[in-house]
Amino acid sequence: AVLCKSSNGEQCTRTGGWEQGWILFHDGNNNANWDPGELLLQQQGPLGKRVRLSGNSPVAHYVSYSASGSAKLVSGAFQAGTFTLCPQNGAAGDVRKIVLSGTGRPRTVKGVAADCL
């Protein structure tokens, strides 16, 4: 299954942040793009203008889970990375990170204001 950022709920995009929304789908051909005939499992619309959600390089555009539950890049390499959720009001106490381990397990940690610069 692949989770990718999507501005229209129908296609993956490589531009903008995750706050624009995302889609979750079964990626039958392992290309990290939703193609006709692939099962669309879930859609999430925009989060709104009050937050910014970004991912570092390994999770900037998509997260892909194998059948075993591990996170993998389309190249087959393990995928680990960090999403950062930043409130637009700049409240440092509200910054959160979602850290994805190479085994696919996510965990949340508190961030700091500097994470949102």
pLDDT in tens, 3-27: 999 999 999 999 999 999 999 999 9
Residue 32 has pLDDT above 90, yes or no: yes
To the nearest whole number, what is the mean pLDDT of the chain? 95
Backbone angles phi and psi of 88, in degrees to 5: -65, -20
DSSP per position, 48-100 = -TTEEEEE-GGGSSEEEB-TTS-BB-TTSSB--EEEEEEETT--GGG-EEEEE
Q: For residues 34-44, give the mean pLDDT.
A: 97
Using pLDDT thresholds of 50, 70 and 90, give the confidence band for residue 107: very high
Sketch out the chain's domains with CATH numbers.
Answer: 2-116 (3.55.40.10)
Q: For residues 33-54, give the mean pLDDT.
A: 96
Max CA pair span of the chain: 43
pTM: 0.91
Q: For residues 34-53, give the mean pLDDT.
A: 95
Using pLDDT thresholds of 50, 70 and 90, give the confidence band for residue 91: confident
* pLDDT of amino acid 52: 95
DSSP state of 101: P
* pLDDT of amino acid 38: 98
CA–CA gap between residue 90 and residue 113 (Å, rounded): 7
